Structure 1
Amino acid sequence: MIIRPIQHQDMDALRAIARESGPGFTSLVDDPEFLRRKIALSIDSFARSPRAPEDEHYLFVLMDENSGRVMGTTAIEARAGQERPLFHFRHSPSAPGMADQPDRLTRCNHYTGCSEICSLYLRPDDRRPQAGKLLSKVRFLFMAQHPQRFADTVIAEMRGVSDEHGQSPFWNWLRAKAGNLDFATVTRLAGTGDTRLLDTLLPGGSLCTASMSEQARRVIGQVHERTRPALKMLTDEGFRYTGYVDLFDAGPTVEAPLTGIASVQGSEACRVQVVDDNVPAITRNRADHHNQALLLANSGVSDFRATITHEATWLPNHRLLSVPRSLAGKLKLETGSVARCLALAPTADQIQPRRHSPLPEARYAH
């Protein structure tokens, strides 16, 4: 599995992903012109050399290097709200014993200017060990390599609760106050950036949750069942929910300081030593990461490549990464190149025989 920037020839795969992900996945909408613009913006963003985050949007694909099949996507928006306001509801729960001050939802654009991680989707036929982890964590290595491209605060809008038919309990309550548009329509309008009608229809003041249906009230700040693995990965990285939810499905937005993200803190910049395949690395000691899973990324931008591998060895005492020649070619690395690596904790199936996994690899996240 190799991560690389999206290319024009990935259009058919991206549209298939947009169709598979369904209503509520607003960062990828099944609209050919919208997707072409997204690919073009991403290619242009990777080609820029900004000193500060602007309107760049970095869209990556996960590729099976043997078949060439696009397995999934993941993305970073450098500065959310740059082209259009990024609206949320601020959920303000009532204090205990304050019956005269009920829970309220207030529309706001609190997160304008933050960097946003988004568009994480792993196709159903491509679930395999480490794939979801690679899609999630690779963004943090790219950000650690190029911090000037991103804001100090990073957010993720998590997909809220909806059923297999694309029905959102929260929107089913709110739609009566917002022109009675169905959930698929409003998420499509939001995803393509056509928000003029929504800005007119959505309530501008506070909403009292006491007037909601029990089903709508119960899903405020909750995530889609298939998004739970992705939320778990982000909370492990240090992301926290502070009360801001999506306008349409009430899914939570989580946030973290860029420098406080665990994978940013834990990753190491290092020099590369390319060795012939099957040749051992230089003399090791107990501190060396040999046969451990490493998330490994080059330091490129338009030629960025990353993967999870057991083939490379991180030699911390030498601040050197020993990489077999075949893997180095896939990652566009040479002896003397700068790379970034992150040692990954063993998975459960590496610690003991795998019997049953209650949660599958993340199919889609946010």
Structure 2
Amino acid sequence: MIIRPIAHKDLPALQAIAVESGPGFTSLVDDREFLVNKIQHSIDSFASRAEQPGDEGYLFVLEDPETGEVIGTTGIEASVGLASPLYHYHKSQVVHHSRELGLFKRVDVLNMCNHYTGCSEICTLFLRPQFRRPNAGKLLSKVRFLFMAQNAQRFASTVIAEMRGVSSDDGVSPFWDWLRTNFVDLDFATVTQLVGAGNNGFIAELMPKYPLYTHLMSGDAQGVIGEVHEKTRPALRMLEAEGFRHKGYVDLFDAGPTVEAELEQIRSIADSIECTVQVIKDGTSAFKPKPDGAGQAIMVANTEVEGFRATVTDQATYLAQHSLLQLPSSLAESLGLRDGASARFIPMATAKTSGLPESAAAQPVPQPRQQQELKYAL
């Protein structure tokens, strides 16, 4: 499996993903012109020489090198809410108190806000279910942090992820159903398609501008505030392991949580290691296997932008004292790496392994429950 920047040849696969992901996945909509423009914007972003975050959007695809099939996608927005407002609800409490009458009432409210304007966002993660395989979901999630670690100047100090909220396979959202009944008579699929395509003017025109008292909502709507779609739970656990936290901000339409972290404190960024590549003949690595015979898997990427490539491998050896990463020649070639080139990597597993630096190997990486792979996340 190889991660690379998206290209126009990937349009049919991206359109298939837009269909497969279903309503609620606002990062992609099944609109050919929209997807063509999204791909071109990504190509332009990778080609830019950005020295600070702007309107760049980076979209990657996960490819099976043997078949050429695109099996998933993942992305990063450098700075959100600049060209088009990014709205959230913030969950907080208000207190109604009368000293004279001796009455005290604390209630939950949702206030519309633009709190995350200017932040970077990791988004558009989808692993096509027919292509699930070990480490594919992790690669799609963590590869963004390798790219951000190498190109920190392109991204904001705060990184967010909008997690998909609760909705059914046929596009019914309990939270939106309540809003639709009381404020905006549009079905959930239509709303998410409008927002995904950047047509969010109706938010300022039709959405309620005053605090929403949650105890006045239906029980179903109250019950999903801050909750994630069942297929997004593995992605949320993975981001929590990276240091992301929910601070009360939820999506306007399905009430899914938005989580945040400081760029420099994201675990995979802080623990990533830049090193020099030594290309060796296939099968001659000095790597010492673990007692069970399996090597320590790492995620490794080159340090290019337009030519970015990344993968997961257990065929690498890191010589910490020389800051040298030994890679088999066939693997190095697939990543566009030559002898003496720079690379960046992070360990994928928890156990210490000779050949990996203690600072990287000693840190445990929580595994998704029952080794569940990601289908789609954000």
TM superposition score normalised by structure 1: 0.93
- The answer to whether structure 1 residue 298 and structure 2 residue 297 are counterparts is no
**1:13 aligns to what?**
13
Report the Cα distance in structure 2 between the residues aligned to 1:127 and 1:313, rounded to whole angstroms: 27
Q: Deviations over 1:297-335 (max 9, x none)?
A: 000101000000011111111100000000011000011
- The answer to whether structure 1 residue 264 and structure 2 residue 269 are counterparts is yes
1:182 to 159, 182, 187: 187
**2:145 aligns to what?**
140
Bigger CA drift: 219-228 or 84-93?
A: 84-93
Structure 2: any 5+ residue segments left out of the alignment?
Answer: 98-102, 352-368
Bigger CA drift: 245-254 or 195-204?
A: 195-204
**1:172 aligns to what?**
177
Change (3 A) 1:96 1:268: farther
Q: Deviations over 1:323-363 (max 9, x none)?
A: 0000011000011111001011159xxxxxxxxx7563110
**2:321 aligns to what?**
317
**1:332 aligns to what?**
336
2:142 aligns to what SS in structure 1? helix
Change (3 A) 1:285 1:247: closer
1:317 aligns to what SS in structure 2? helix
Please say if residues 293 and 346 of structure 1, whose CA atoms lie closer than 8 Å, have aligned partners that are also in contact.
no
Report the Cα distance in structure 2 between the residues aligned to 1:91 and 1:226, rounded to whole angstroms: 24
Change (3 A) 1:96 1:200: closer
1:250 to 249, 255, 261: 255
**1:28 aligns to what?**
28
**2:134 aligns to what?**
129
**1:56 aligns to what?**
56
**2:71 aligns to what?**
71
Cα offset, 1:90, TM superposition: 0.4
Q: Deviations over 1:264-319 (max 9, x none)?
A: 0111000000011111249x899xxx921010000010100000001111111110
2:331 aligns to what SS in structure 1? helix
Please say if residues 102 and 210 of structure 1, whose CA atoms lie closer than 8 Å, have aligned partners that are also in contact.
yes
Report the Cα distance in structure 2 between the residues aligned to 1:123 and 1:155, rounded to whole angstroms: 23
Cα offset, 1:204, TM superposition: 1.2
1:339 aligns to what SS in structure 2? strand
Q: Deviations over 1:93-112 (max 9, x none)?
A: 46799953311000000000
Cα offset, 1:198, TM superposition: 2.9
Please say if residues 175 and 182 of structure 1, whose CA atoms lie closer than 8 Å, have aligned partners that are also in contact.
yes
**1:195 aligns to what?**
200
Change (3 A) 1:92 1:245: same
Please say if residues 274 and 345 of structure 2, whose CA atoms lie closer than 8 Å, have aligned partners that are also in contact.
yes
Moved >6 Å (runs of 4+): 95-98
Report the Cα distance in structure 1 between the residues aligned to 2:201 and 2:271, rounded to whole angstroms: 43
**1:276 aligns to what?**
281
Please say if residues 309 and 336 of structure 2, whose CA atoms lie closer than 8 Å, have aligned partners that are also in contact.
yes
Among all aligned residue pairs of Structure 1 and Structure 2, give the percentage whose two residues are the same amino acid: 57
- The answer to whether structure 1 residue 361 and structure 2 residue 373 are counterparts is yes
Letter paired with 2:349: A
TM superposition score normalised by structure 2: 0.90
Report the Cα distance in structure 1 between the residues aligned to 2:70 and 2:161, rounded to whole angstroms: 23
Please say if residues 177 and 202 of structure 1, whose CA atoms lie closer than 8 Å, have aligned partners that are also in contact.
no
2:325 aligns to what SS in structure 1? strand
Report the Cα distance in structure 1 between the residues aligned to 2:273 and 2:372, rounded to whole angstroms: 29
**2:358 aligns to what?**
none
Cα offset, 1:199, TM superposition: 2.3
2:110 to 90, 105, 119: 105
2:118 aligns to what SS in structure 1? coil
Structure 1: any 5+ residue segments left out of the alignment?
Answer: 348-356
Report the Cα distance in structure 1 between the residues aligned to 2:29 and 2:221, rounded to whole angstroms: 24
Count of aligned pairs between the two proteins: 353
Please say if residues 96 and 106 of structure 2, whose CA atoms lie closer than 8 Å, have aligned partners that are also in contact.
no
**2:87 aligns to what?**
87
1:163 to 162, 165, 168: 168
Q: Deviations over 1:6-57 (max 9, x none)?
A: 0000000000000000110000111111111100000000000111010000
1:103 aligns to what SS in structure 2? strand
Please say if residues 275 and 281 of structure 1, whose CA atoms lie closer than 8 Å, have aligned partners that are also in contact.
no
